Amino acid sequence: MAICGVCFRHCDIEEGGLGFCGGRTAKDGKVIAFNYGRVTSLALDPIEKKPLYRFCPGSMILSVGSFGCNLRCPFCQNHEISWSRRAREFAHTAETVSPEELAALALKLRRRGNIGLAFTYNEPLIGWEFVRDAARLIKNEGMKSVLVTNGTAELAVLSELAPHIDAMNIDLKGFTDRYYSEVLRGNRQMVMDFIEAAVKTCHVELTTLIVPGENDGEDEMRVLSQWVAGLKNPDGDEVPLHISRFFPRFHMRDRRPTDIKTVYRLADIAGERLKYVYTGNC
């Protein structure tokens, strides 16, 4: 048995078993990334798709995903590789790519406008060792690395990655402990602590997906945006907030898409305190 130190769960993993996230295992009494280099998704995307609007706008970035996640969002749009039954199948079918091979591909795609690597699609922090190794290689080539993450990780993980990461989009999925614990099976305080530390290391933007009946209250947005207003990126500028529209997905098909007027209203409320507020999926 070995205890994982990535997130608040601190899974006690049996030799050869898997942690809650499905991406970490125990070998020779130590916890390692079971999904190391196992790639399920690869695409050259606009940087704005991450979404990052104030980091290298107009650029393209090679986006890579593996499998596994340490949350259980019932509306996950990438459930095939995050925490569904099919996601576990990728443990046997995903193509293995070395950090050197991935870095070489990123370099090759420079001629198509690629600025680096974005670790995204599933939760990259559960496989932080691969992120670190690949990001370090492309940083040596003068390229950029981006994380798209739920921010559910110990600060020790951030410390390992910070020297190699240039920007992050972090999900701040809501601003109540009930929503985080009961719906997402996560830990809001861990995410807030991660965000507060991350903004001291690189450019950060935040995303809040507005789910009807869950986190769509105006008072919640007032409190959330007030907290975000207290954050500053390393250049001294404010942290942007992306407010996105929900569509029925996965295990949450019983809700209607978020009313567009609700998204715009919440964006207006956030804009009372924040300089940069963007709406998505509208």
Q: Tell me the pLDDT of the chain averaged across its residues.
A: 96
Higher pLDDT, 89 or 180: 180
The topology under which CATH files domain 35-280 is: TIM Barrel (3.20.20)
* Cα dihedral 52/95/40/127 (nearest 10): -60
3-state secondary structure of 198: helix
**Beta pairing, strands 203-210 & 167-171:** parallel
Token output for 19 = 């942690």
- Asked if pLDDT for residue 73 goes beyond 80, the answer is yes
On the CB side of 95, CA atoms within 13 Å amount to 10
Q: What is the mean pLDDT of the segment spanning 23-45?
A: 96
Q: What is the pLDDT of residues 204-261, one digit of tens each?
A: 999 999 999 999 999 999 999 999 999 999 999 999 999 999 999 999 999 999 999 9
Domain ranges across the chain: 35-280
Q: What is the mean pLDDT of the segment spanning 45-66?
A: 98
- Asked if pLDDT for residue 267 goes beyond 90, the answer is yes
pLDDT-derived band of residue 187, with 50, 70 and 90 as boundaries?
Answer: very high
- Asked if pLDDT for residue 65 goes beyond 90, the answer is yes
Res 92: pLDDT: 75
Token output for 23 = 């991406």
State percent of the chain over pLDDT 70.
Answer: 100
CA dist 125 → 23, 24, 86, 200, 213 (Å): 10, 11, 20, 18, 29
Q: How much is the pTM? A: 0.97
Integer Cα distance of 18 and 108 in angstroms: 35
Higher pLDDT, 26 or 88: 26
CA dist 1 → 5, 7, 15, 31, 91 (Å): 13, 17, 6, 9, 21
H or E element that contains 160? helix 155-161
- Asked if pLDDT for residue 71 goes beyond 80, the answer is yes
Res 83: pLDDT: 85
Q: What is the pLDDT of residues 75-125, one digit of tens each?
A: 999 988 888 777 677 777 888 999 999 999 999 999 999 999 999 999 999
CA proximity to 78, closest of 148, 128, 182, 175: 148
Sequence-ordered list of residues with C-beta below 8 angstroms from that of 252, at least 6 positions apart, any chain: 74, 75, 211
DSSP result, 223-281: HHHHHHHT-B-TTSPBPPEEEEE---BTTB-SSPPPPHHHHHHHHHHHHTT-S-EEEE-
Q: What is the pLDDT of residues 150-170, one digit of tens each?
A: 999 999 999 999 999 999 999
Integer Cα distance of 80 and 228 in angstroms: 31
Q: How many CB atoms lie within 10 A of CB 176?
A: 17
Res 81: pLDDT: 87
Token output for 133 = 């190794």
Q: What is the mean pLDDT of the segment spanning 49-57?
A: 98
H or E element that contains 46? strand 41-46
